[in-house]
Amino acid sequence: MSDAVKLTCATCGQMNRVPRARLAEAPKCGSCGEPLLDGRVHELDGPGHDKAIRGDELPLLVDYWAPWCGPCRMMAPEFSKAAKALAPQARLAKLNTQDHPDIAGRARIQGIPALVLYHRGREVARLAGARPAADIIAFVRQNAPASV
């Protein structure tokens, strides 16, 4: 499977290989059966965040947020709209910085909401502040590697 893409299941953490030609066919996790590219925003825990950042071979946009943050809560529906529009070319996830301050520190998050785009273990770009779905989509499309 040389033309396969590795994706971490947001539910069970299992790494999956999906043929690139089948990304639009609603692939499911080989371990738990949950959808891998369903256009939903998934909440990451600490280990899931680190594994997805390191292992995923599709662009992964992480929204670093906190439940007490008004702009974060205001942007949540826009982030969900963007997730639907970008699937299956990219995945969108959230990390609660209140529950995982150590990860927020490692990611050098200085203010929230903060959007960080990762690809193959590297940070590609970041965007600060609450944004409408159109801005989030444009940000990912402008900054995601051309090979995706």
Query: Catalytic residue numbers?
Result: 69, 72
Q: Cβ distance 138 to 113 under 8 Å? A: no
The whole-angstrom distance between residue 25's C-alpha and the CA centroid of its chain comes to 19
What is the phi/psi pair of residue 50, to 5°? -65, -40
Q: What is the dihedral of CA 99, 51, 21, 133, to 10 degrees?
A: 30
CA dist 54 → 61, 85, 110, 135 (Å): 13, 24, 22, 25
Q: Cβ distance 84 to 105 under 8 Å? A: no
**DSSP string across 44-80:** --HHHHHHHHHH--S-EEEEEE-TT-HHHHHHHHHHH
